[in-house]
Chain A
Amino acid sequence: MRRWIEKQRCLLDFTLSSLLRRKGKNIALAVVYTLIVFTLASVMMFTQALKKEASLILRETPEILVQKLAAGRHDLIPLSYASRIGQIRGVAEVKGRLWGYYFDPVMGANYTVMVSEDPSLDEGEILVGKGISRLRQVYKSNILSFRGCDGNYLAFKIKGTFEAESEIIASDLVLCSESDFRRLFGTPGGYATDLTVKVKNRKEIPTIAAKILQILPDTRPIRRDEILRTYDAVFDWRGGILLAVLAGAVLAFIIFAWDRAAGLSAEERREIGILKAIGWETADVLQMKFWEGLTISLSSFLLGILLAYGHVHFFSAGLFEPVLKGWSVLYPKFKLVPYVDPYQVATLFFFTVMPYTVATIVPSWRAATIDPDSVMRY
């Protein structure tokens, strides 16, 4: 075993010297390689992190959301609907939610305003997300004013900012009391934005949703799994678009890498001949070529993954923001919760490192099987 390790050490040492001989070419290759891995990994990590955020958001959401529809559009729902839904067997709890969007013309950003379930939040007090705090440079005990639906400004004292697992929900959120919400948006009493329904037995969710629709035909019950599916589809679709755009670049790289790895120059062939003549076995040459392929592909892969991680989680995927986040959907800026799916990293590894390493070995194998006496005949 020790012999084997020493041998690999020698081969690796020679491989590194060999790579340095063609510095320019190999660096160019590694840069392009890293760039491709970086781009693919960024898309992958970004989509994954968004999906993770979505699942975090939805983990605590109720099993069914009930919205009232008016001419096919979302309308305020009378709270009297809550008592009718509460009478359906199997329903544990029905609550009215008040929420809406506030466009801040100063910053050009949309905030989500919600009524807090926390009774300790007094009238005139609000809790704000980190995104708003960063954007408006406001902190605990500062005053923040919002323009109400009647054109008058309402001043709120910031009770604090809140921590949450997901920055998507926490970033642009403003929590206030019910009376403040109704004053700000002019929402009449006895009405809520939507209703949340908790169900005793999860298996009964579809049945209860169907019953709600039956007794309240002007509503739309939305099940949690439907929301999850939509999130998945939206993020996969966006990721897919970007990948389609990148497909050309990936293809160009494959051709470039194949040409570089597969085409042995006359000089390289001669060197393999010399190595065989001085006592290297075919297997030794192949091991050396394996190290060569692995050194380039693995280091580019690791560097690409690290850069992608930094890009997505420290710089909020700045390069893909316009495509992947969409306009005003996730606004203002937020930082994603770092999440890397090992399965996806392994897939990326398999589709980048493996083909390149194989592409390096195959032509060398052909060259390495030539008779060593060929160098005597030059």
Chain B
Amino acid sequence: MIELVDIKKVFNAGKPNELTAVDGVNLGIEARQITVLKGPSGSGKTTLLSLVGCMARPTAGRIILQGREITSLPERFLTAMRRRCFGFIFQQFNLLKGISVLENVMLPAYPNGENYGALRERAMGLLAMFNLGAKAEARVEWLSGGEAQRVAIARALVNNPGVIIADEPTAHLDSRLSREFMAYMQSFKAAGKTVIIASHDPLVYESPAVDRIVDMRDGRLIAPGAAA
């Protein structure tokens, strides 16, 4: 479903602080599976995730999504693709402070121009699914870590994307919440969504829900292998 062909990403090219974050990666990511990009800090996991999620363009190589080459698409199309096809869960959750939980969940859908009432209803449905219905009007800074994580997941789902991308999602969670997170991911897989996670947390890559682990180091793949 997602194919990366000879992908290279160089930051600050031509400057003294030039850094090659991803170097010649060839990878096929299967649909309706949970794939974990595993590796130490600086191994290029996050950069690879951002390339897959249309957040950045590779310096070289091609990315093919559902048979369509997307690396050469103009910025506008790339943004529309990012909004429609991908749901993001960030390491810091990246929720906007000062506004309500409900508004945070609705935010990715605002540029769609949907009916406000229908969108609100859908967001409320998602919050109810994650037992956050009562907190809809609360501000995000009042939430516990686990609640904030669930809001971030609800936000990732609001546009009903086919692919969920999570960057170090359990970095700030205890073991119980980490397992809970993986349970959610498993339910998404069961619902036919593709999940790609970058993590070096054993609770994630050793989870039975994971279908495939991709090891990375210094911007290269080490050896792709199947999970237990």
Which residues of A pack against B, CB within 8 Å? 2-7, 9-11, 13-14, 17-18, 20-22, 271, 274-282, 284, 371-373, 375-378
Q: State the Cβ distance, A286 to closest chain B Cβ, in Å.
A: 12
Inter-chain contact B113/A3, CB cutoff 8 Å: yes
Nearest B residue to A275 via CB reads: B107
Q: State the Cβ distance, B161 to closest chain A Cβ, in Å.
A: 9
If A17-B100, A282-B75, A377-B46 touch, whether A7 touches B111 (CB-CB below 8 Å) is yes
Question: B76 in the interface, Cβ–Cβ < 8 Å?
Answer: yes
Q: State the Cβ distance, B172 to closest chain A Cβ, in Å.
A: 13
Inter-chain contact A376/B167, CB cutoff 8 Å: yes
Q: Which residues does chain A contribute within 8 Å of B80, judged by CB atoms?
A: 279, 281
Inter-chain contact A17/B99, CB cutoff 8 Å: yes
Q: State the Cβ distance, B16 to closest chain A Cβ, in Å.
A: 19
Q: Which residues does chain A contribute within 8 Å of B88, judged by CB atoms?
A: 277-278
If A14-B107, A278-B107 touch, whether A373 touches B116 (CB-CB below 8 Å) is no
Inter-chain contact B94/A6, CB cutoff 8 Å: no
Q: Which residues does chain B contribute within 8 Å of A275, judged by CB atoms?
A: 107
If A279-B82, A376-B167 touch, whether A6 touches B103 (CB-CB below 8 Å) is no
Inter-chain contact A7/B110, CB cutoff 8 Å: yes
A-contacting residues, B150-204, CB 8 Å: 155, 159, 167
Give Cα distance in the complex from A275 to B90, angstroms: 13
Q: Which residues does chain A contribute within 8 Å of B212, judged by CB atoms?
A: none
Give Cα distance in the complex from A82 to B46, angstroms: 100
5 residue pairs of the A-B complex, CB under 8 angstroms, read A7-B113, A13-B103, A274-B96, A281-B79, A378-B91
Inter-chain contact B159/A376, CB cutoff 8 Å: no
Inter-chain contact A277/B94, CB cutoff 8 Å: yes
Nearest B residue to A18 via CB reads: B99
| Residue from the list B50, B79, B83, B110 in contact with A14, Cβ < 8 A | B110
Question: B56 in the interface, Cβ–Cβ < 8 Å?
Answer: yes
Question: B114 in the interface, Cβ–Cβ < 8 Å?
Answer: yes
Q: Which residues does chain A contribute within 8 Å of B167, judged by CB atoms?
A: 376
If A9-B116, A10-B116, A21-B99 touch, whether A279 touches B55 (CB-CB below 8 Å) is no
Q: Which residues does chain A contribute within 8 Å of B72, judged by CB atoms?
A: none
Q: State the Cβ distance, B133 to closest chain A Cβ, in Å.
A: 20
Nearest A residue to B103 via CB reads: A17
Question: B98 in the interface, Cβ–Cβ < 8 Å?
Answer: yes
| Residue from the list B49, B111, B113 in contact with A376, Cβ < 8 A | B49
Question: B108 in the interface, Cβ–Cβ < 8 Å?
Answer: yes
Q: State the Cβ distance, A351 to closest chain B Cβ, in Å.
A: 32
Known: A14-B103, A14-B107, A278-B108. 12 other contacts (CB 8 A): A10-B109, A10-B119, A17-B100, A274-B96, A276-B79, A371-B55, A372-B79, A375-B90, A376-B50, A376-B91, A378-B91, A378-B92
Per-position 1/0 for B17-44, Cβ under 8 A of A: 0000000000000000000000000000
Inter-chain contact B111/A21, CB cutoff 8 Å: no
Inter-chain contact A373/B55, CB cutoff 8 Å: yes
Would you call the interface of chain A mostly helix, strand, loop, or mixed?
A: helix
Inter-chain contact A277/B116, CB cutoff 8 Å: no
Question: B131 in the interface, Cβ–Cβ < 8 Å?
Answer: no
Nearest A residue to B94 via CB reads: A274
Give Cα distance in the complex from A277 to B93, angstroms: 12
Nearest A residue to B93 via CB reads: A274
Question: B144 in the interface, Cβ–Cβ < 8 Å?
Answer: no
Nearest A residue to B49 via CB reads: A376
Q: Which residues does chain B contribute within 8 Å of A278, judged by CB atoms?
A: 83, 88, 107-108, 155
Closest 3 CB pairs of A and B: A279-B83, A21-B98, A3-B113
Inter-chain contact A277/B99, CB cutoff 8 Å: no
Q: Which residues does chain B contribute within 8 Å of A9, judged by CB atoms?
A: 116
Q: State the Cβ distance, B54 to closest chain A Cβ, in Å.
A: 9
Inter-chain contact A376/B90, CB cutoff 8 Å: yes
Inter-chain contact B96/A13, CB cutoff 8 Å: no
Residue of A4, A10, A377 with most chain B CB atoms under a 10 A cut-off: A10
Q: State the Cβ distance, A154 to closest chain B Cβ, in Å.
A: 74
Question: B12 in the interface, Cβ–Cβ < 8 Å?
Answer: no
Nearest B residue to A377 via CB reads: B46
Q: State the Cβ distance, A94 to closest chain B Cβ, in Å.
A: 75
Q: Which residues does chain A contribute within 8 Å of B66, judged by CB atoms?
A: none
Inter-chain contact A277/B103, CB cutoff 8 Å: no
Nearest B residue to A276 via CB reads: B79
| Residue from the list A7, A18, A279, A378 in contact with B108, Cβ < 8 A | A279
A-contacting residues, B108-128, CB 8 Å: 108-116, 119
| Residue from the list B55, B76, B92 in contact with A372, Cβ < 8 A | B55
Q: State the Cβ distance, A279 to closest chain B Cβ, in Å.
A: 3
Inter-chain contact A7/B94, CB cutoff 8 Å: no
Nearest B residue to A8 via CB reads: B113
Nearest B residue to A274 via CB reads: B94
Give Cα distance in the complex from A22 to B98, angstroms: 9
Inter-chain contact A4/B94, CB cutoff 8 Å: no
Q: State the Cβ distance, B155 to closest chain A Cβ, in Å.
A: 7
Give Cα distance in the complex from A18 to B100, angstroms: 10
Q: State the Cβ distance, A176 to closest chain B Cβ, in Å.
A: 70
Q: State the Cβ distance, A349 to closest chain B Cβ, in Å.
A: 29
Give Cα distance in the complex from A17 to B98, angstroms: 8
Nearest A residue to B165 via CB reads: A376
Give Cα distance in the complex from A28 to B198, angstroms: 45
Residue of A4, A281, A373 with most chain B CB atoms under a 10 A cut-off: A373
